[in-house]
């Protein structure tokens, strides 16, 4: 078993519970961790035997280009798309952070983490 991770993916997107957030947009960060067997890829040195980082990024970018009200929904969509493309993975963990969330006070970011 091994871990493949993309950390600190950054996007400017138009998600948010409030209509104003969906109009003005905000900066978001996404972290993706995938647990799967890396043995065959390690031995054969073939990209076809593992999870391609570019695919993970493309999935995150596609989901982030849409509009969702909740960070939980964003993470769920990313997990679902990864599982469709790579059904053999054991576990997918996605964290989504919203920078400077509108909570009425100082907060660098709000983050959720979902496992699927």
pLDDT digits (tens, 9 = 90+) for 18-70: 999 999 999 999 999 999 999 999 999 999 999 999 999 999 999 999 999 99
| pLDDT attached to residue 78 | 98
CB-hemisphere CA count at 13 Å for 43?
A: 3
Catalytic residues: 98
**Domain housing 41:** 2-115
Q: State residue 27's pLDDT score.
A: 98
Tell me the whole-structure pTM to 2 decimals.
0.95
Instruction: Please answer whether residues 82 and 89 qualify as being in contact, where contact means their C-beta atoms are separated by less than 8 angstroms.
Output: yes
- β-bridge mates for residue 113, sequence order: 95
Task: Give the per-residue pLDDT at 99.
Answer: 97
Q: What is the pLDDT of residue 103?
A: 92
Q: Under a CB-based contact definition with an 8 Å cutoff, are residues 95 and 113 in contact?
A: yes
- CATH code for the domain of 25: 3.30.1130.10
Count of structural domains, the chain: 1
What backbone phi and psi angles, to 5 degrees, belong to 13? -145, 175
Q: Please provide the average confidence, as pLDDT, over all residues in the chain.
A: 97
> In the predicted model, what is the mean pLDDT of residues 103-113?
96
Confidence of residue 3 (pLDDT cuts 50, 70, 90): very high
| pLDDT for the residue 104 | 92
């Amino acid at each position: 078993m091994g871990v493949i991770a993309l950390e600190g993916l950054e996007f400017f997107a138009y998600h948010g519970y409030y209509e104003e957030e969906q109009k003005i947009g905000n900066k978001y960060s996404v972290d993706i961790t995938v647990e799967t067997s890396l043995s065959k890829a390690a031995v054969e040195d073939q990209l076809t035997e593992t999870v391609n980082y570019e695919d993970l990024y493309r999935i995150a970018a596609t989901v982030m280009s849409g509009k969702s009200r909740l960070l939980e929904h964003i993470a769920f969509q990313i997990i679902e798309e990864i599982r469709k493309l790579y059904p053999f993975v054991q576990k997918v963990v996605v964290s989504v952070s919203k920078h400077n969330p509108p909570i009425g006070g100082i907060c660098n970011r709000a983050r959720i983490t979902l496992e699927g």
